[in-house]
Amino acid sequence: MSFIVSTAILLFLVMDPFGNIPFFVEELKEVPPEHRRTTIFREAVIALGVLLLFLVAGGRILAWLQISRGSLGIAGGVILFLIAMQMVFGSAIVNQKHSADPFIVPLAIPMIAGPSAITTVILVSGKSGASLLYGIAALVLAWLPTTLILMFAHPLAKWLGKKAVDASESLMGLLLTGIAVEMLVNGIKASFFQ
């Protein structure tokens, strides 16, 4: 049970729903208000499907690509650390062309199911003592509040205000920094000391 809860918290932090609120608000400004929640839910379901795929088949994908879990841990730690630094110190939203109804990119991938989330689920699937069922439970447990927060991104952005959203993103980034370093250390141990 503690594995499920700790993994769910990690995945929730990696998916970073509070940090994604400004991006979702910006990206969906061309979508009619009555269709926004449906669009977000659809994108969240696609992201869940992608993450489940990597949770179930991630080990085989790594084997085909001849990438060790240690190397993935190092790469994941570096990526997560860079993302955490952006969250702590802030990053401007890049102005992009907005389609009337964004599909898969950029909301599902990479905003929800980004490189760090995919790396995390692959590493979770390879943990000793972790059954696939526990991994799925943890993923769904993280996905539900992430989806709910993002479905209410527009009202939350108005209610919380920019400062509160930025502060929550910085706090989550700080927590992610520690997780990234731990992932990096474990990757180095697995690659060089086992």
pTM across the whole model? 0.81
pLDDT at res. 187? 87
At position 141, the amino acid (one-letter code) is L
Q: Quick one: pLDDT band at residue 131, thresholds 50, 70, 90?
A: confident
CA distances from 120 to 39, 127, 194 (A): 25, 11, 21
Q: Yes or no: say if 139 and 53 are a contact pair by the CB < 8 Å rule.
A: no
Q: Yes or no: say if 122 and 58 are a contact pair by the CB < 8 Å rule.
A: yes
pLDDT at res. 130? 63
- Expressed in angstroms, the distance from the first to the final Cα of the chain is 28
CA dist., res. 191 & res. 69, Å (int): 8
Q: Quick one: pLDDT band at residue 165, thresholds 50, 70, 90?
A: confident
Say whether pLDDT at 189 is over 50. yes
CA dist., res. 117 & res. 100, Å (int): 27
Q: Which domain, by its residues, includes 182?
A: 2-192
Q: Quick one: pLDDT band at residue 95, thresholds 50, 70, 90?
A: very low
Say whether pLDDT at 92 is over 70. no
Share of the chain above pLDDT 90, in %: 36
Query: How many domains does the chain contain in total?
Result: 1
Rounded to 10 degrees, what is the CA torsion of 192, 61, 3, 46? 140
pLDDT at res. 112? 94
